[in-house]
Structures are given as C-alpha cells and as structure tokens.
A and B are shown apart, each in its own frame.
Chain A
Amino acid sequence: MGFWNRFFGGKKKGEDTVKTVPHKSIKKNLETIKEIMTDCDDIVYREVEIGTQNEFKAALIYVDGMADKMLLNKFVLNNLMVSSRMVEPNGENIKNQLYKQLKDHTLTVTELSEVESIEEAVGFMLSGETILLLDNYNKIIIVASKGFSSRSISEPSTETVIRGPRDGFTETFRVNTTLIRRRIRDSKLKVKSMQIGKRSKTDVAVMYIDDIVNKGILKEVNKRLKMIDIDTILDSGYIEQLIEDDWTSPFPQIQNTERPDVTASALYEGRVAIVVDNSPFVLLVPATINAMMQSSEDYYERWNIASAVRLLRYFAATISLILPSLYVAITSFHPQMIPTQLALVLAVNRKTVPFPAIVEALIMETTIELLREAGVRLPGPIGATIGIVGGLVIGQAAVEAGIVAPLMVIIVAVTAIASFAVPSYNVAIGFRLLRFLFIFAAGFLGLYGVMLAILLVLIHLCSLKSFNVPYLSPFVNYIDESGDLGDTFIRVPLIAMNNRNAHANDKQRNRMDDKRKEYFGIEEDK
C-alpha cells in the first residue's frame, strides 16, 4: 500500500469548517469579512447610512461582476436611501424592528434570506448574492442578486438530432433546472440542491419525480453525493467518477447528456438527474448499456425506422469492437474462413507488407486514433483539412508504400465510422479502448482469443451494476410486464410502451391507457 500511496497519494482527513456568529456591531462584522476576503479586489463594499437622521448604518457587499448592479441600484439602494426617507417612521422602537421594516416594507426584491454565520454569508456572496449588513443586528441579510453573464441556450454539439428540440444545457445551473422544469409541470418534480466541493462550493441539484422514482436508488444517490469530500467540482465528470460503482470498468455507469428532453424523459422513467453548476452535462442514473445506445430521436421518429436504426447501431457497436481483431485472426490463423478468391487477393496484397497482421492493425489503428485526437485539438477549418489529409492521403500512401494492405485501410475506416455511430461518446471510447485488447487477443490466440475477449467483456458487463441496477437488465427484464426488452434492439410502437422501466417505482409502473378503441371506434367482430 505504501507503494500505491507514493504513486497516487494517500488520503488525509480535512479540517472541519468554523462558524463565526455575526457581531451586533456592523463595524466588527465588516472587519471580519474584510479579513476573510483580504486581497480580493473584486469585492465591492458599499457603506450607507439610512433613516431620516442617518442614524442607521448599513453595508452592501457583493462580488463585482457576479451581482446584478441594476437590481442593487434600483431596488435596494434606491429604496434604502431615497424612498425610505419619504415615510415618517412609525413607532418608537423602530430601532429594534429595522430588519422587519426592511424586509417587509422597503426592499423590493423577490428573494431575501437571513443567515446566522459570516462564513455562510460569504459563501452566498461568492455565488453572486449580495450581503446586507445592518448595524445593531446580529443576523446577515442576503439579497438574491445573481446576475452574471452566461452563454445563451444553443443547440448541443454532441447530441445533434434531425428531428427534436434544439435547446441544450448551458453552464448556468439555474438555466439548466429551468429547462428541465419547463418540460415537467408536475408538483412531484423535486429539485434538491446541495453544495459539493470544500472550496469550490459547486451547486449540485438532484432532480427526480417523487412518486415515480425508486426510493432505493434515490437514497443511494444522496448517500454517495454526501460522501464526496473533494476540494472542487469543475464539471459533472468529477461527480460521475466519484460516485460510479466500478471505477476500473471501461464502460461508463452513468449517462450524461446535454439535452433537456433526454433528461426529462429519463425523469419520467423514474431515473434521477444530477445537475451540476458550470457544466452543460447533466448526469442520469441509473444507466444501463441500453440507455447509452438510445438517441432521443428514436422516440420522435416512427417506430419501424427507429427500430432499424437501433439494430444498425448495435451492429456498428459490434463492428467497432471486433472488426480489426477479426482481420488479424483470419489473416494470421484462419484463412480458410474467407472465400478463396478473397484469400488469394489478400495474400497477394499482403505480399509487400513486411509486418505481421497484428502490427499492421496496430499501426493503422494508432494512426486513426492520432488523427481523431488531433482533430479535436485543431480549430474547425484546419480540422477538416487534417481529416482529409489523414484519411485519404495517409491511407493511400501507406498502401502504396507497402506498409499496410488495402483491406486494412478499409477495415480501419469502417471501424472508425462505426464507432461514431454509437450515440454515447463515453461508451464509444470504451469500445475503442477495448478494441486494442481484442487486437492483441487475436494476434496471440486467433479467433479463440477473440472469443475469450468477448467472454471476458460479457462477464464484466454482466457483473457491472449502476446504482444497484444491473447494467444489462433491459435485456433480461422480459419476465415481468415492464416490457423493457421492447426498447432495446428494437423500439416498439409508442402505443405498446405502456410501462416504465423495471427500475421505476412499482406502484407507478403504468404510463398510459390505450383509449384509442373508444375514441376511434374500432369495429367490433361480427
């Protein structure tokens, strides 16, 4: 274990945060806050005096750029300093009721809250709210004034569809939850917020539909989120890796999406969504491999076409996993498996290739991975050029130089295209990684090795679980009436999708009653 710790770092317990109760005197509080925020030049302190005789001191503190200045000017400062003077204070002990006065009669902002510790108040301030300090009052008022610039809603680039909504999540937490809420006008849709990250204090919301969700899964999600003890969450990917079941697996056990419609559909199926601030990717749990092979468009397009596309997708996934290894196995071990003509042509083509098939496959696969990785880094227009240069020129040149056989180029190209037909990028890269394992297995043991590798992957998939839901469960849940199987290799017509997934709450399994008979008056048998 010492070895492990030296390499990857051991775990040490962090200290607990302290809580400072605000002082009665505004001066003391201001000093405390200023001390906490030393050298933070983006903090604005605005001290004011209010009341007819300017007898009360107050202070506004906010982070420049994160708070909505217009709102503070018009509805906080204006009201405190100008409008309040127009009214004669009623009652002698106004001094003691100042807070109530402000809250109920003066400040015309939608959201006000009180906190009882300075650290908490600073936390709010750092997320864009404004601190309002009052003299002679030992609580701190928080004015909701978040107003920072953010990216507008645009079409997600990773999950494009031809038919379907074009909006996608942004980096702003609240915008994302709103996009989901817009699709679910149900009082049962719950949004439980929490902050994760000891330093980053990232907003994380767990969203679910209360009566559909499986309570066991929800409990597990909350438990795992609570257990996270990390300094910062920069993207939902952090959360995904910290709460997933098996971190050694090449397969993702949590689905991520940029599309609000996918999220809403998952919520309606009784799944749980985890929305993370600063990330346009929302996590969906539990996830099965089947969920990763679905595209939202499958449900918007008619079922027969969607089913055909589904089958094609599974075929593509298989191809992207085993095609290069089949080439290696067949050319090196089992040439009797291909038609004679092809075998002869292959033998002729390979005559000039100085490497064994496994090296040939590795060279080409590595090249294509290189192109793909470089393509991501390169700016748009250059990326396309590199694609053409890589795909056509290098492929052609490699064949002419006699380094690889022409069939290998075709196989690598088909494999690359097939791997992009898988809707989930994270599953596709898992397959891509395993492809190399398959190539090695084929190179050493032939088809026997390929079969061993397939078995290994299958065994692993069978043992994999996502939040206690087996990873392959939709393929075996045909015993009960959930009808999960009808949404796997094929997508049955919408009228036949009566039930929710097997992992939803048992009492809320039914999705719809088929009333077409009553409405359309289908003829009865005579």
Chain B
Amino acid sequence: MFKRTLKKITLIYIILITLFLTGCWDKQEIDDRAFILAMGIDHVTPGHEGEREEMEEILTRKNHYRVTYVFPKQMMGVGEAEMTNVQISSVGENVYMTERQLTTRMDSELFLGHLKSVVVGEEVVNNPKMFREVLDALEKDPFITRKISFAIVEGEAKEALEVEPKLEPMTGQFIADLFRGRERTQRAPIKDLNEILIELHSNKTAVIPRMVVAEEELKVGGSAIINDYRLVGWLGEIETIMLMLVRGQTTIFNVTVEDGDVVIPYQITEAERKFTLVESGDQLKMRVEIDLEGDIIQHYFNPENDMLDPVFLQQLQSKINQKVHDKVAYTIKELQEKHRTDVVGFNDYVRKHHSKLWKKVEGDWADIFPTIEVEVVVDAKVRRVGLSK
C-alpha cells in the first residue's frame, strides 16, 4: 500500500514539475498593467505636422499609423492613491507595431482587456485598405471584447482623445458612457463593434456612430456611412434617427409638431416598421410602413383645443404622420442618391423574403438600390396626453 502511494506521489510530482516548468508564465500583477480604456487610430502622412521624433520615424520607416492610447495611471500618495489620465501615442507600420514600440517607452505593460472604446480618424476610413487592417487588428485580438464602442471622428482621433471631459476625467470611460447614453437621445446609431463587424462581413456596408470634437467637450451624434470599407458620407443627427427607425432599431425618440404657433413635442415609445415589396418587375418598389405609438409631453396651459378632443387628436396625428413621412422619405432619398449605399436594410429584406428575386439582383444591387421607388406610410397614434386640469 505504501509502495503504491509512493508511486502515485511520484507520478503527480512529475506531472506538476512538467506543468510548472513548461506552463505559460504570462503572470503579470494587476498593478503592473496599464489598463487601456480608449484607443485612437489615425492616418499620418510624411507631410504631417507633428513632433520631431515622430516625423523622423515617419520619414524613415514609412510608418503611417499613429495610435493614441489613453489609460488611467495610479499616482502613489499617502493613504489614497489618485488616478490621472494619460495619453500616449506612437507611430508604426500597423496597429500592433505601435503597441510594441510603446512598450519600450512605458514602465507597465499595455493591457487591452478593459478597452472600452476605439475612435478612428476620418483619414483612416477614407483608405479602405487601412480601415480593413484596423478592423482586423480589433477583431483578431482575443483580449479586445466585441462589446466596445466604436466611432469615427470627424477630424483626427488624437484630438478627440486629448479632450479632457469636464464631467469624467477618464476619457475612455467617458466615451463608453456617452455611447451608453445614446439610448436616451438616439442621435447616433446604437452599435458596438460586434454589430459593425457583422454588418461589414455580410454587406461591406455599415453605419458607424460619428464623434464630434468641440473645445472641451465630446459629442456622439450622427453617423458615418461606409460602403465597400470606405467612408462615403456623413448623416446628420435627425437623419440618423430616421435611418434607425427605418432599420427597426429604435423605439424611443422625439418629434415636434406645430399647431399654429405652438410647438408640441411628441415622444415615441413604441415603433414598428414593416417592409413590403410591392412590384417585382423591372422597377422595384418598396413600401415602408411605420407604426408609431407615443405620448404628448407638453402643450400649453389651459389650451383652447383640449387634448381629449378626438378631432384635435386626429389633426395632431396626421401632422405627426406627415412630418415623420417627410423626414424618412428625405433620409432614404439621401442614401439612394447621395451616398448610393443600402444601409436601410432593403437588401436583407429581399434576401430573406424574396430569395428568387435576390438571386437575380444580387450582383448589381449597388446599381439597383438608388432606383428603387420607395413609398413611406406612417401611422402615428397618441396613446397618452398627460395630466390636465
């Protein structure tokens, strides 16, 4: 019995030894890591004005990526330690090389496991090859979650990250929080990296939130339209809401209608949209039906027209219908004629519901999409009018 046990112990010992000697020693204490919260990726050209050192590198090695990393740094103090935000950027031949170069200039290891948001400069998206490289770098890294926020900056990403938000000193967290707040305003598409990647994989097109940089503030509103991995144009905030409505991705937003000289806000709480293919001959015609439900948030004190009056409500509803119809029709027209990009979701609809037709038109959908006749039907209902008297 003792002999058998000794043998067992020896065996376990040998297994443990091999594990400890060959096991992965990627141990890194939590305080030796720099938690990158935000990353900004820019395209730089040799003519770019920058720091001297940077310039030299750009010129000698044709590095055209500049990646800015933002991470909180713990400053040791007596009792409580403090966090400060640090931005540090590096240039390289690709995203990974910038990271490698940065490690030579930093005391702690870059850690992407807590990355919250990635912002990409406009220039990168103008260059399809670069944009695809960036997307692949983000997709391949096992540490980067696909739930991070992704936005395109009008201008340079570095500028956006250098803004010190007044409300929250940690830029990465702030950007992530901004995105979370989108559900309330809906002025930018609610999308994380995962959805964007899926959309790009299937259609090569995408709607990506736009980030606008002001002096001391950052704002997420509007969207960038991507076609064939290239930025083809921007969409304004209202148009973005309408686009999301047509895509069936938004349920809460606001519209104002005018009743005489009073502007009445109407808050949509429930939205449903339906596509129907009306004609399937040479000329495709799509009908977009939108059903809305919502509340009247505000009127004026002791109004002449009572909200509970059915005739008045009917009037209001038809006004809302008209307004939403106009905006949606305008947005779709804009996408068809200006951007020539089907981010509305017609292609998905035709593929799923009219697969025979889809096989015929699949090849030249890019040419067919701008010619589709679109009929928008809006049916808004006022469900709650609030308290009065």
Query: Closest Cβ of chain B: how far from A46's Cβ, in Å?
Result: 51
Q: For residue A51, which residues in chain B have a CB less than 8 angstroms away from its CB? A: none
Complex formed: what's the CA distance from A353 to B114 in Å? 22
Pick the residue among B19, B20, B28, B83 that contacts A344 (CB under 8 A). B83
Tier of interface size on chain B: 20 to 34
Complex formed: what's the CA distance from A344 to B74 in Å? 8
Q: For residue A353, which residues in chain B have a CB less than 8 angstroms away from its CB? A: 31
Tier of interface size on chain A: 20 to 34
Complex formed: what's the CA distance from A345 to B27 in Å? 19
Query: Closest Cβ of chain B: how far from A2's Cβ, in Å?
Result: 12
A-B contact count (CB 8 A): 78
Given contacts A335-B111, A347-B74, A351-B81, contact A340 B173 (CB under 8 A): yes
Interface flag for B345 (CB, 8 Å): no
Q: For residue B81, which residues in chain A have a CB less than 8 angstroms away from its CB? A: 348-349, 351-352
Complex formed: what's the CA distance from A353 to B29 in Å? 11
| Residue among A340, A346, A449 with most chain B CB within 10 A | A340
B74–A348 CB distance below 8 A:
yes
| Residue among B2, B29, B35 with most chain A CB within 10 A | B29
Query: Closest Cβ of chain A: how far from B81's Cβ, in Å?
Result: 4
Q: Quick one: closest A residue to B30, CB to CB?
A: A331
- From 332 to 358 in chain A, residues with beta carbon under 8 angstroms from any chain B beta carbon are 332-336, 340, 343-344, 346-353, 356-357
Q: For residue A1, which residues in chain B have a CB less than 8 angstroms away from its CB? A: 2-3
Q: Quick one: closest B residue to A446, CB to CB?
A: B27
Interface flag for A248 (CB, 8 Å): yes
Complex formed: what's the CA distance from A352 to B80 in Å? 10
Pick the residue among A334, A340, A443, A444 that contacts B19 (CB under 8 A). A444
- From 16 to 49 in chain B, residues with beta carbon under 8 angstroms from any chain A beta carbon are 19-20, 23-24, 26-31, 33, 35, 37
Complex formed: what's the CA distance from A334 to B26 in Å? 10
A4–B2 CB distance below 8 A:
yes
Interface flags, A497-519, vs B, CB<8A=1, else 0: 00000000000000000000000
Query: Closest Cβ of chain A: how far from B356's Cβ, in Å?
Result: 47
A344–B31 CB distance below 8 A:
no
Q: For residue B27, which residues in chain A have a CB less than 8 angstroms away from its CB? A: 332-333, 356, 443, 446
Complex formed: what's the CA distance from A444 to B24 in Å? 9
Interface flag for B116 (CB, 8 Å): yes
Q: Quick one: closest A residue to B143, CB to CB?
A: A336
| Residue among B20, B74, B145 with most chain A CB within 10 A | B74
Interface flag for B5 (CB, 8 Å): yes
Interface flag for A386 (CB, 8 Å): no
Interface flag for A309 (CB, 8 Å): no
Interface flag for A81 (CB, 8 Å): no
User: Residues of B at under 8 Å CB distance from A?
Assistant: 2-3, 5-6, 8, 19-20, 23-24, 26-31, 33, 35, 37, 72, 74, 76, 81, 83, 111, 113-114, 116, 143, 145, 173
Other A-B pairs, 7, CB within 8 Å; known A347-B33, A351-B81, A445-B24: A248-B5, A333-B26, A335-B33, A336-B143, A352-B81, A356-B29, A444-B19
User: Residues of A at under 8 Å CB distance from B?
Assistant: 1, 4, 248, 331-336, 340, 343-344, 346-353, 356-357, 443-446, 448-449, 452
Q: List 5 A-B contacts (CB under 8 A).
A: A331-B30, A335-B35, A335-B114, A343-B114, A452-B19
